[in-house]
């Protein structure tokens, strides 16, 4: 605030009346009818006239007292002082195409969009677009960041597209770029248990692989997450690296890159690259299996399952020839070269087994059971013995599998690896037998023997006693001895029996020979089995199992596989080219390296892009030599590949090409946080390179970047190229733009919130074009008035002249020609100046009163007179409007005033800001003298603050902090403590020694002087923007603008830091008793809102914001809360931090936190 000038007449009205009454009494006292003042409170004619006179004198006095200020204002006007016009609010507007619109749309410049009238006002608030906008159908679908120096990347798609309200650092990743090698050994990892594992890696550089192993984290998938493994021991043998895992765990099944398996993962630690990355030719897995005393999964007696939990009969209780005992091996342990030891514990040994008992052991191969050889040949399946299960237990035998194992077989419906023991000879004991006895019964007598010696006639009928097939015995006496012969009846009829054989000595067999019929009687002898009984059968598997591993790499979101490639160039490649045509691209992955056969050393290049249709590659760098067609190129498998980017890069992926037209993107840049600002470093013009992807790879894209390298929100415009090409990046097939941070430094890395398409700036103003002001009569001091006021900064005044001025800038000329190219009109742009004091007769200058729209020209000596002409003075462009009413919330500017084809709607996704009313007179009286004092140069501290306000209209408040150079023992004003500048050789120690008599503690004094020396010349300027945020932090661009503005106007030795305050959050916890129980939520909201407004650093307190270094007091809050309607009284109030705590630092400023408001009834609940 400016101080008021002293009053010329300081008397008040009452004092003037009293003084006049005294004068009247004194001057009329000598008269006979002199006037005397009546008593106080009484009135007469004289007093009435005096009071009238006093009122007239008071008015004259008041006007006289205004003379100094009016003279002051006249002086300010004389030196060009003028009230600043209103400032228009500015807002980004986003246009949306109609649903399913086949084409884009064109929004002309100065298209008007309105917001509803404010409360208490009937007029809409009009905004105009600043420039034309082409609304495209292409939409932003993906946003990624690569940060190669930290080996990180970030997927910020959800942030930038507005699906999540969060910001991100433009060139910083939030997660490591994964570099992993996945390895599986299907057979080994399908074992039920695994106690050890060796991986043998064939590589071209074993030492590099060993170094790399120190930077690898090994893990396995446990079904839920990757579980860490201890680092394997590594040994080098020739070209092999052998990794031995001592505590290996069996992984669970997982699917990686579409392949299901049990995987190990070797992940490269962050930023752990080694030189000469190794090539892997092969990985071999091996393990030592020693599974002891396993019970067979299934045992069968013939086709009957056996219960192994009890003693069992392997061949049944009554073993017979070909009875079979089946044993199912554990499939997972039947591997090439496996040794399987079978151990039988018998609970009973067969004591009655026949001497020729033979058990044959067999295995099924090629669909038939084959005997297992008793040998030790490595080329076939063999056993070292064939146990007959008749020895004393334990009985052991070893089964050895060759490298080519048979296929599983099916027994009893189960497909497994089966072996069997079959009884092929002998018995265990004796089987059941039948014993037969012959009994003879005399039944007939021979009558005669026929001549054929085969037929016997008997006494009686044959069929009564015999049948065919019976055995008979003939008994007769010969030489006094009884003779016997037996015959078999072949047939019989009547009384004759026909025998199968001839009767011997028929003469002897005369009539009377007895015939006995033989009867056979059978007797069953019970069996006497003695089979073996097995108490337990255990299998022991022991072998070294080797298996070629399956492996692939995952680097920077790309998988690569080891393959044998026969790659040849299909075209000649010239030196310096990056595009390569080859005969095959299948199996190649982005990021892999190709080796070109150059001399003396091969040339190695990384693949940046693969076009499978044209079989072309884009390399990350140019070739240094020329290569002919059919040149063979190698592609070796490298497990870990660095990212293609060499610089931090921002990627923007769009779903469609833009077409060859102007594209406008809006970058919503967040201001830096106070913590980030406190850690800011010096800025060195960061260089950002915009690129687009084309068939030739990444190509430079020229852009108009209003964000100044993402230091402030703004538009980014470019003409979209016609060869904008789709490419697969970050596993998304889109049209990609890339922003590379090529060089330089950010003082604070920028932070982005959103990137919007189809968005442009609009200002709260109305544009008037080609307004004719009038005609010049070539007289001095001509004045004209614009049709609308106030006139905002940025107008363009033109005057039609008869010829083109000499040495005049072409951008200040508008030449109109006819169809033949002949000049019809010449309009020349004139320049606004604050006054004509420095203008000459040839200067095309004018004065402008922006509040009234009045335009004045010179007299021909101080400023040129416009040439004579009819309607030759015009405002070709100007705007009117502005004011605080344009500072509207988001989503409020949404009504198109004119229809735009294909446009469905428009809206402001951000709040409009920057609107300000016309400058107040009090501010003018402060500003113009300041400008007169500093004359655009920063000499004093006050000059720096004043210039900071002039640097930008966004600056709301500044505070300058200087080092404290005044201490009890040192004063900069004490010349006796200054070094003598003429004595260049004097040192600080010499100076202290010379002052020892004046200094009580030389060491502390020396530290103090060193500190003062370091702080001298340092100035910290705190800048706050015009913002309604809780913490109104300036943008990086605003800080840099203010710093640059002051640095260009101050001494080079000044060490200036432009920053933000040290913020102190204030949190109020209050317990309130309301006057009513109705609307308690609304009351709580009102209290919070009032507290936030009261604590706002720029507009809080009494309305002018809070001073630096000051705490609010409890009494302030009591008065504030109790003044709110609905609050009966405040029961409890706490402030954090306590206002009684130590004072804030000079650069600290308070802001509102999130308050806690408790409401309770009058009873205390």
pLDDT over 70 at 991, yes or no: no
The closest alpha carbon to 726, from 715, 737, 716, 711, belongs to: 737
Write out the two tokens for 273: 């690259």
The answer to whether residue 931 scores a pLDDT higher than 60 is: yes
Instruction: Tell me what percent of the residues of the chain surpass a pLDDT of 70.
Output: 92
pTM, two decimals, is 0.75
Beta partners for residue 762, in sequence order: 91, 129
The model's pLDDT over 879-896, given as tens digits with 9 standing for 90+, comes to 999 998 998 999 999 999
Looking at the predicted structure, is the pLDDT value of residue 1089 above 50? yes
Tell me the per-residue pLDDT of 745-787, one tens digit each, with 9 for 90 and over. Answer: 888 889 999 999 999 999 999 999 999 999 999 999 999 999 9
Top-confidence residue, 451 or 488: 488
Section 1084-1112 average pLDDT: 90
Q: Tell me what pLDDT residue 967 has.
A: 57
CATH code reported for the domain at 295-431+529-543:
2.60.120
Pick the CATH number of 433-525 from 3.10.450, 3.30.70, 2.40.10, 1.10.10: 2.40.10
For the chain, what are the domain ranges?
140-176+646-670+690-757, 179-287, 295-431+529-543, 433-525, 568-633, 768-865+875-881, 944-1057, 1062-1159
Residue 383 has a pLDDT of 63
What is the pLDDT at residue 582?
Answer: 93
The two tokens of residue 400 are 């050895």
Q: What is the CA radius of gyration of the chain?
A: 56
| Spatial contact of 455 and 496, defined as CB atoms under 8 Å apart | yes
Contact between 439 and 518 (Cβ < 8 Å)? yes
Q: Distances in Å between the alpha carbon of 182 and those of 69, 179, 268, 745?
A: 85, 10, 12, 38
pLDDT of 648 reads 95
Average per-residue pLDDT in the chain?
87
**228-245: average pLDDT:** 92
pLDDT of residue 919: 86
What does 1103-1143 look like in DSSP terms, one character per residue?
A: TT-PPTT-PPPHHHHHHHHHTSTTEEEEEEEEEES-TTSSP
For residues 736-748, give the mean pLDDT. 91
End-to-end Cα spacing for the chain: 49
Q: Which of 99-108, 237-246, 1036-1045 has the lowest mean pLDDT?
A: 1036-1045
pLDDT at 995: 60
pLDDT tier, 40 (very low <50, low <70, confident <90, very high otherwise): confident
Q: How far apart are CA 199 and CA 213, in angstroms?
A: 12
- How many other CB atoms sit within 10 Å of the CB of residue 486? 13
The count of C-alpha atoms lying within 13 angstroms of the C-alpha of 574, restricted to the half-sphere facing its C-beta, is 1
pLDDT digits (tens, 9 = 90+) for 937-960: 988 888 998 999 888 888 889 999
Does position 380 have pLDDT exceeding 50, yes or no? no
The residue ranking higher by pLDDT, 474 or 990, is 474
User: How much is the average pLDDT of 266-290?
Assistant: 87
Q: What is the mean pLDDT of residues 418-444?
A: 83
Most confident segment among 89-93, 98-102, 910-914:
89-93
**Does the structure show a pLDDT above 80 at 14?**
yes
| Closest CA relative to residue 539, chosen from 345, 343, 392, 361 | 343
The fraction of the chain above a pLDDT of 90, given in percent, is 41
Residue 48, pLDDT > 60, answer: yes
**205-209, 710-714, 969-973 — which is least confidently predicted?**
969-973
pLDDT at position 43 is 87
Residues 538-559 have a mean pLDDT of: 90
Question: What pLDDT score does 82 carry?
Answer: 84
CA atoms within 13 A on the CB side of 424: 11
Lowest-confidence segment of 394-398, 503-507, 680-684 by average pLDDT: 680-684
Q: How confident is residue 703, by pLDDT bands cut at 50, 70 and 90?
A: very high
Name the pLDDT band for 1011 (thresholds 50, 70, 90).
Answer: low
Residue 1002 banded pLDDT, cuts 50, 70, 90: low
pLDDT per residue over 901-921, tens digit each? 999 999 999 999 888 888 888
**Is residue 390 over pLDDT 80?**
no
């Amino acid at each position: 605030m400016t101080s008021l000038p002293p009053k010329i007449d300081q008397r008040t009205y009452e004092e003037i009346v009293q003084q006049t009454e005294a004068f009247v009494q004194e001057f009329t006292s000598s008269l006979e009818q002199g006037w005397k003042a009546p008593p106080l409170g009484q009135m007469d004619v004289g007093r009435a006239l005096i009071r009238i006179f006093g009122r007239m004198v008071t008015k004259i006095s008041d006007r006289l007292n205004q003379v100094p200020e009016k003279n002051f204002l006249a002086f300010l006007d004389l030196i060009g002082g003028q009230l600043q016009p209103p400032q228009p609010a500015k807002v980004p507007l986003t246009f949306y195409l109609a649903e399913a619109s086949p084409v884009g749309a064109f929004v002309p410049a100065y298209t008007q969009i309105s917001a509803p009238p404010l409360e208490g006002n009937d007029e809409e608030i009009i905004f105009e677009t600043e420039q034309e906008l082409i609304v495209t159908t292409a939409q932003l679908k993906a946003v990624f960041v690569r940060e190669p120096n930290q080996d990180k990347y970030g997927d910020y798609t959800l942030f930038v597209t507005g699906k999540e309200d969060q910001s991100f650092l433009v060139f910083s990743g939030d997660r490591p770029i994964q570099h992993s090698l996945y390895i599986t050994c299907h057979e080994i990892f399908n074992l039920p248990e695994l106690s050890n594992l060796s991986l043998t890696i064939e590589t071209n550089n074993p030492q590099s692989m060993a170094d790399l192993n120190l930077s690898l984290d090994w893990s396995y998938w446990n079904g839920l997450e990757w579980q860490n493994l201890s680092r394997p021991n590594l040994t080098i043998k020739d070209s092999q690296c052998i990794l031995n895992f001592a505590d290996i765990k069996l992984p669970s099944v997982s699917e990686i890159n579409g392949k299901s398996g049990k995987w190990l993962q070797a992940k490269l630690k962050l930023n752990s690259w080694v030189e000469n990355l190794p090539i892997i030719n092969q990985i071999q897995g091996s393990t030592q299996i020693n599974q002891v005393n396993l019970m067979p999964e299934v045992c069968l007696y013939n086709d009957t399952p056996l219960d192994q939990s009890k003693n069992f009969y392997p061949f049944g209780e009554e073993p017979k020839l070909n009875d079979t005992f089946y044993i199912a091996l554990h499939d997972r342990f039947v591997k090439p070269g496996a040794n399987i030891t079978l151990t039988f514990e018998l609970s009973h040994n067969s004591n009655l087994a026949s001497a020729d008992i033979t058990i044959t052991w067999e295995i099924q191969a090629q669909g038939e059971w084959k005997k297992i050889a008793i040998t030790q040949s490595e080329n076939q399946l063999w056993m070292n013995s064939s146990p007959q299960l008749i020895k004393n237990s334990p009985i052991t035998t070893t089964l050895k599998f060759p490298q080519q194992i048979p296929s599983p077989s099916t027994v009893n419906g189960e497909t497994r690896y089966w072996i069997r023991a079959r009884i092929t000879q002998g018995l265990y004991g004796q089987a059941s037998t039948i014993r037969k006895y012959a009994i003879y019964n005399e039944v007939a007598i021979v009558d005669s023997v026929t001549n054929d010696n085969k037929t016997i006639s008997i006494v009686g009928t044959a069929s009564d006693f015999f049948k065919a097939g019976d055995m008979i015995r003939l008994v007769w006496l010969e030489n006094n001895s009884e003779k016997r012969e037996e015959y078999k009846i072949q047939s019989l009829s009547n009384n004759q029996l026909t025998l199968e054989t001839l009767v011997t000595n028929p003469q002897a067999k005369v009539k009377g020979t007895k015939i006995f019929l033989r009867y056979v009687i059978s007797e069953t002898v019970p069996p006497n089995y003695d089979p073996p009984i097995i108490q337990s059968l255990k299998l022991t598997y022991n072998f070294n199992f080797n298996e070629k591993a399956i492996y692939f790499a995952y680097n920077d979101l790309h998988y690569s596989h080891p393959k044998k490639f026969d790659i040849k160039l299909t075209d000649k490649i010239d030196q310096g080219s990056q595009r390569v045509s080859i005969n095959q691209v299948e199996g190649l992955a982005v990021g892999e390296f190709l080796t070109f056969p150059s001399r003396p050393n091969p040339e190695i290049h990384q693949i940046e892009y693969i076009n499978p249709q044209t079989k072309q590659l884009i390399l990350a760098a140019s070739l240094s030599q020329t290569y002919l067609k059919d040149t063979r190129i190698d592609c070796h498998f490298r497990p870990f590949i660095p990212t293609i980017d060499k610089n931090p890069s921002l990627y923007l992926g769009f779903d469609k090409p833009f077409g060859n037209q102007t594209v406008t993107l809006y970058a919503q840049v967040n201001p830096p946080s106070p913590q980030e600002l406190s850690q800011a470093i010096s800025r060195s013009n960061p260089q950002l390179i915009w690129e687009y992807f084309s068939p030739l790879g990444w190509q430079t894209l020229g852009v108009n970047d209003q964000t100044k390298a993402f230091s402030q929100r703004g538009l980014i415009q470019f003409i979209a190229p016609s060869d904008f090409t789709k490419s697969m990046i970050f596993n998304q097939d889109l049209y990609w733009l890339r922003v590379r941070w090529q060089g330089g430094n950010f003082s604070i890395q920028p932070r982005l919130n959103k990137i919007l398409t189809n968005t442009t700036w609009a200002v709260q103003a109305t544009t008037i074009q080609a307004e004719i002001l009038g005609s010049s009569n070539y007289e001095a001091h001509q004045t004209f008035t614009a049709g609308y006021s106030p006139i905002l900064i940025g107008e363009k005044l033109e005057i039609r002249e008869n010829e083109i001025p000499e040495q005049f800038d072409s951008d200040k000329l508008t030449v109109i020609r006819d169809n033949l190219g002949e000049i019809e009109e010449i309009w020349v742009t004139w320049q606004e100046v604050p006054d004509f004091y420095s203008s000459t007769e040839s200067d095309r200058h004018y004065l402008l009163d922006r509040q009234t729209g009045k335009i004045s020209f010179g007299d021909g000596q101080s400023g040129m007179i416009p040439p004579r002409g009819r309607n030759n003075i015009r405002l070709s462009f100007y705007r009117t409007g502005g004011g605080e009413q344009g500072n509207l919330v988001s989503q409020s500017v949404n009504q198109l005033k004119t229809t735009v084809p294909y446009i469905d709607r428009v809206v402001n996704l951000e709040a409009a800001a920057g609107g300000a009313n016309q400058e107040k007179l009090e501010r003018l009286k402060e500003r113009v003298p300041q400008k007169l004092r500093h004359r655009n140069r920063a000499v004093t501290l006050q000059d720096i603050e004043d210039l900071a306000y002039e640097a930008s209209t966004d600056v709301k408040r500044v505070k300058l902090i200087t080092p404290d150079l005044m201490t009890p023992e040192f004063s900069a004003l004490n010349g006796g403590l200054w070094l003598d500048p003429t004595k260049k050789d004097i040192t600080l120690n010499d100076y202290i020694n010379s002052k020892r008599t004046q200094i009580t503690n030389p060491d502390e004094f020396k530290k103090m002087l060193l500190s003062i020396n370091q702080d001298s010349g340092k100035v910290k300027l705190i800048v706050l923007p015009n913002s309604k945020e809780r913490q109104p932090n300036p943008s990086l661009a605003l800080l840099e603008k203010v710093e640059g503005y002051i640095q260009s106007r101050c001494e080079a030795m000044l060490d200036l830091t432009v920053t933000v305050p040290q913020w102190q959050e204030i949190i109020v916890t209050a317990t309130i008793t309301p006057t009513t129980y109705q609307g308690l939520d609304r009351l709580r909201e009102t209290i919070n809102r009032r507290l936030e407004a009261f604590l706002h650093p720029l507009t809080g307190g009494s309305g002018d914001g809070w001073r630096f270094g000051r705490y609010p007091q409890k009494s302030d809050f009591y008065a504030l809360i109790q003044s709110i309607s609905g609050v009966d009284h405040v029961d409890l109030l706490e402030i954090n931090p306590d206002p009684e705590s130590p004072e804030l630092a000079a650069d600290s400023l308070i802001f509102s936190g999130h308050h806690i408001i408790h409401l309770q009834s009058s009873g205390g609940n």
